[in-house]
Chains A and B, each alone.
Chain A
């Protein structure tokens, strides 16, 4: 038993639309960031830098001890 041609066409059409739907929440999120000027990833990078600085300081202190 084979897949009907009309069903096959509908699947392909709907699958293309799905790609857009998968991307939609991500696009909307970045759209909101663009409007509000939020940069949450920068906050994370900043946190990482701070953590690295603390680690370096601590290791330096330990070296000095």
Chain B
């Protein structure tokens, strides 16, 4: 049985995960889930962050795993390959995900680290592409990557593959704009399951709350919900905010579309947007500003109507007067 599970997840990790990402991407586009917010600059940011870090990070991890670890720990290769599969999965899951929780949390709570993580939060939409939208230096120092590679070297390779497959699926689905968790909140019979689910893993509702542009509406909570695969770290450490609604606006309230190269490789490249946190003379952390109607991803119908009316009025005022 365990062998079969291993095989299924191994296959999922090989081609299944790529298929999942492709299917999700197609669905998100087909249903217009980016709501026309994916402009040229954002496309460049998402595509550059998805592709370029891989060209740097993969060879680095390969070097670390194949050359550095054998040189540092020459006698320890496969020392712990006797660890039973399920225990191996538990060890890897805790080591990898708890380390990532801390890496993520510190980038939010330690002011000077925030700008390395800002790119992940700047988009005003959610989607599976968000999972890899990161500054290259943030990706390069992903501490859990090196810890997990060391555990693989010590003999926990198969559990690592399985956990990586499960974790990749959970985090991609948590970032996706498809609210797959909604039925769990809608149908009363599923509420007990929802209670367990939202406390165990990252769901779109709790992770979208982390990507909200504001914490003032009782739904968004960018000051917490740092968990990636497991949400229980947030519960244990008191950084959780459980929501069954989705935020009205995503991103950063004062974001004005910093250039893709600055978002990819700050501080190597700086933003040309005056006052931006990524600009050469920008502040380490800029205070939030009140949200404007156009920033709302899910506007209230009345507010949306008023905003539309304002736009029409403005257009009428700008019409040239006929002679």
**Chain A contacts to B: CB under 8 angstroms:** 1-3, 7, 10-11, 14-15, 17-18, 21-22, 24-26, 28-29, 32, 40-41, 43-44
Contact B90 A29 (CB under 8 A): yes
Given contacts A1-B285, A14-B237, A17-B237, whether A29 and B83 have CB atoms under 8 Å apart is yes
- B contact residues around A10 at 8 Å (CB): 237-238
Contact with A along B280-301 (1 / 0, CB 8 A): 0001110000000000000000
Contact B98 A22 (CB under 8 A): yes
Given contacts A3-B111, A21-B236, A29-B87, whether A43 and B94 have CB atoms under 8 Å apart is no
Contact B94 A22 (CB under 8 A): yes
In the bound complex, what is the Cα–Cα distance between A62 and B237 (angstroms)? 63
What DSSP secondary structure best describes chain A's contact surface? helix
Contact B82 A41 (CB under 8 A): yes
- A contact residues around B84 at 8 Å (CB): 29, 40
- A contact residues around B186 at 8 Å (CB): none
Closest 6 CB pairs of A and B: A25-B90, A44-B82, A1-B111, A29-B87, A40-B82, A14-B237
**Chain B contacts to A: CB under 8 angstroms:** 81-84, 87, 90-91, 93-95, 98, 102, 105-106, 109-112, 236-238, 283-285
Specify which of A3, A32, A44 is in contact with B110 (CB 8 Å cutoff): A3
Task: Show 26 A/B contacts (Cβ-Cβ < 8 Å), sorted by A.
Answer: A1-B112, A1-B283, A2-B111, A3-B109, A3-B111, A7-B109, A14-B237, A15-B102, A17-B236, A18-B98, A22-B95, A22-B98, A24-B94, A25-B90, A25-B91, A25-B93, A26-B91, A28-B87, A28-B90, A29-B83, A29-B87, A29-B91, A32-B87, A40-B82, A40-B84, A43-B82
CB distance from B264 to the nearest CB of A (A): 24
What DSSP secondary structure best describes chain B's contact surface? helix
Contact A44 B285 (CB under 8 A): no
In the bound complex, what is the Cα–Cα distance between A10 and B239 (angstroms)? 10
- A contact residues around B284 at 8 Å (CB): 1
CB distance from B117 to the nearest CB of A (A): 15
- A contact residues around B105 at 8 Å (CB): 11
Specify which of A18, A25, A40 is in contact with B102 (CB 8 Å cutoff): A18
- A contact residues around B237 at 8 Å (CB): 10, 14, 17
Apart from A2-B111, A25-B94: 5 A-B pairs, beta carbons within 8 A = A18-B98, A21-B98, A29-B84, A29-B87, A32-B87
